[in-house]
Amino acid sequence: MLIDIGANLSSQRFDGDIAEVLQHAKNANLEKIVITGTSIAESQAAIDLCTTHTADFPDMLYATAGIHPHSADQFDPQSTSISLRRLAAHPSVVAIGETGLDFFRNLAAPDIQQRSFEAHLELAIDLVMPLFLHERNAATRQLEILKAHRDQFHSAVIHCFTSDRKTLYKYLDLDLHIGITGWVCDERRGLDLQKIIADIPLNRLMVETDSPYLLPRNMAFSPKNNRNEPAFLPWVVAGIAAHRAESEAQIIAQTGATARQFFRI
């Protein structure tokens, strides 16, 4: 069964039809979905979705708790850490994040991003929870920080990996997992990723949609609202399988097993 390790289901783009979106995912043989928390409010919203829909979709929905680097200026060393710890205590929360560094847009100053990132690391270490990581144009500094803490944190996944082979190998050398999205299905932007997707050990690979973003461009149809959703995860798997030796069925089986073990779900 398929596991989507990163879906932004608390996005306003899912307002009004989230139950239908979840049913679509179930119909597409998705077993579990991890809803991404990107701020205190969005992390709480992710938890609320898990709670609200547990009766109709038992054991399907989980969440992460964290502050995206774009929102790192919301991080307060005292109050935010307390809030994140409270959120992480909820049984639906299976990872700390989304956290990391983004020097591409720098919507928050780099030093503020780093303080937030290191606080998330410390929380994950203290709670013995996996990390759900973001990184864009910041691999050098992010790797330095991760190396400094690698003997302390349990596990981490680089979500929505889109970088180069050198960076990939450095993350793998730290024994991290790699999350792949519909970026690999893009015949324009995804060409470089397609060339290195086979370099990821199968037991280090996980799959995600990053819904509502990154709609797979290899789909046989295009939704009218141009919105990605977890039900489209099979197209991500197909995009990966097109550049690896394993079959789609093998990728689904192993990435699902890896995600269950990684998130303890």
Whole-angstrom Cα distance, residue 195 to residue 114? 31
- Size of the chain in residues: 265
Per-residue confidence (pLDDT) for residue 204, from 0 to 100: 98
| Closest by Cα among 92, 51, 44 to 67 | 44
Mean pLDDT, range 63-80, rounded to an integer: 93
Whole-number mean pLDDT of the chain? 97
Q: 10 Å Cβ neighbour count for 44? A: 18
Whole-angstrom Cα distance, residue 263 to residue 265? 5
H or E element that contains 134: strand 131-136
| Closest by Cα among 171, 232, 167 to 205 | 171
Helix (H, G, I), strand (E, B) or coil at 40: helix
pLDDT in tens, 180-218: 999 999 999 999 999 999 999 999 999 999 999 999 999
Two tokens, residue 3: 């596991």
pLDDT in tens, 131-187: 999 999 999 999 999 999 999 999 999 999 999 999 999 999 999 999 999 999 999
Whole-angstrom Cα distance, residue 141 to residue 258? 27
Peptide bond into 98 cis (omega under 30): yes
Question: Which domains does the chain carry?
Answer: 2-263 (3.20.20.140)
The conformation of residue 202, written as its DSSP 8-state character, comes to G
Per-residue confidence (pLDDT) for residue 224, from 0 to 100: 86
Contact of 130 with 166, CB cutoff 8 Å: no
> Where are the strands (E) in 15-81, listed by range?
30-35, 61-65
pLDDT in tens, 211-243: 999 999 999 998 989 999 999 999 999 999 999
Calculated CA dihedral for residues 55, 58, 64, 68, nearest 10 degrees:
-60
Phi, psi dihedrals of residue 129, rounded to the nearest 5°: -120, 150
| Closest by Cα among 209, 220, 143 to 180 | 209
Two tokens, residue 249: 């069925």
